[in-house]
């Protein structure tokens, strides 16, 4: 048996323990990354293929002569041609729930940085503003607390629920958004009402045709001028041009994003050229704590073990019917 990890560099910098993977199947070939041209040759004789973001198209799947299992080293699986895999009866599995603590902590790190004007005060100290202040405590920027504020959560799966739990510990009030355009179920609030009422809005829904540009000019115009938007989900959920317009005109107070529509971004990306401190950008690292990445590898190993032992594993079974 042999296995190939096509973009191992996306989950490690030499700091991961691969022993569970090695016990599940051997030998492994670990590639830092794989171009479209390299994929065909690298997977030709593999029984198990692991990919984080490398695309496995129809040609690749049909060319892998010994292929038995495709493992996605992520929760999202839009980089796999599921139809082609199904035609060959090749199961596809993903990893789930591995990054929850990492993502949730990143969400609140971003929220607190915005609420406490962390970036502004760091710059003030570096530029001598504290040293020149007549008072022991310069109050140049208006900080606020999370307690008592309303947090709107858009997407209430595992991540949304975990965010809600921590938000309660901060003393925040919660609004759980119903799907956009749908009547609110018990325990949910209509999407537009969440957008109107929330002091902070955090996105935790998948990217699909229905959710692409979920937050655009219309939604920004509904928001309070004091609102902060947090996006650690997918860049395509937010219209980036409308976000920049809303930030630069004061339509919203600020935003913190960990994801962009194009990743890695181009050097001329307008989001990255925006200088004011009311926008914080991190490079898709919310998920990427060392502990989270180790859980990812261990869950991959578990999927492979269970597949060969004919036990239940994280097989994607409903994607073709959505």
Query: Do residues 40 and 60 lie in contact, with contact meaning Cβ atoms separated by under 8 Å?
Result: yes
Whether 168 is catalytic: no
Which of the residues 66, 263, 290, 291 is marked catalytic? 263
Under DSSP, the state recorded for 263 is: S
Helices H / strands E in the chain, number of each: 12, 11
Query: Do residues 95 and 296 lie in contact, with contact meaning Cβ atoms separated by under 8 Å?
Result: yes
Which of the residues 106, 204, 234, 293 is marked catalytic? 234
Whether 310 is catalytic: no
Compute the CA torsion angle 274, 286, 174, 193 (nearest 10 deg).
50
Which tokens go with 40? 């065909």
Which of the residues 29, 179, 196, 284 is marked catalytic? 284
**CA dist., res. 230 & res. 258, Å (int):** 8
Adjacency order of strands within the sheet including 173-176? 173-176, 150-154, 200-203, 228-231, 254-257, 279-281
Range 230-247 burial, b when 16+ CB lie within 10 A, else e: bbbbbbbbbbbebbbebb
Whether 267 is catalytic: no
Query: Catalytic site residues?
Result: 234, 263, 284
């Amino acid at each position: 048996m042999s296995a190939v990890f096509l973009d191992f560099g996306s989950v490690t910098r030499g700091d991961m323990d691969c022993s569970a993977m090695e016990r599940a199947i051997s030998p492994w070939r670990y590639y830092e990354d794989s171009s479209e041209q390299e994929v065909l040759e690298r997977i030709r004789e593999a029984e198990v293929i692991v990919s984080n973001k490398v695309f496995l198209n129809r040609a690749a799947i049909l060319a892998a002569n010994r292929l038995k299992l495709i493992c996605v080293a992520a929760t999202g699986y839009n980089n796999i041609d599921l139809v082609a895999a199904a035609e060959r009866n090749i199961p596809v599995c993903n990893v789930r729930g591995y990054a929850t603590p990492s993502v949730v902590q990143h969400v609140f790190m971003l929220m607190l940085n915005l609420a406490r004007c962390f970036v502004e005060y760091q710059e003030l100290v570096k530029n001598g503003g504290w040293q020149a202040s007549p008072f022991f405590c310069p109050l140049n920027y208006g900080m606020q607390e999370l307690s008592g504020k309303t947090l709107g959560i858009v997407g209430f799966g595992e991540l949304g629920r975990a965010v809600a739990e921590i938000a309660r510990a901060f003393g925040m009030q919660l609004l759980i958004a119903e799907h956009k355009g749908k009547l609110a179920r018990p325990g949910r609030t209509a999407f537009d009402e969440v957008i109107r009422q929330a002091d902070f809005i955090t996105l935790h829904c998948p990217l699909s045709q229905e959710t692409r540009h979920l937050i655009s000019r219309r939604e920004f115009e509904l928001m309070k001028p004091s609102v902060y938007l947090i996006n650690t989900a997918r860049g395509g959920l937010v219209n980036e041009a409308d976000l920049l317009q809303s930030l630069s005109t004061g339509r919203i107070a600020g935003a913190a994003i960990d994801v962009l529509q194009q990743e890695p971004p181009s050097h001329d990306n307008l989001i990255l050229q925006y200088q004011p401190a009311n926008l914080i950008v991190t490079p898709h690292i919310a998920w990427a704590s060392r502990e989270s990445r180790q859980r990812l590898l261990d869950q991959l190993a578990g999927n492979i073990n269970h597949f060969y032992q004919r036990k239940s594993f994280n097989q994607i079974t409903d994607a073709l019917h959505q």
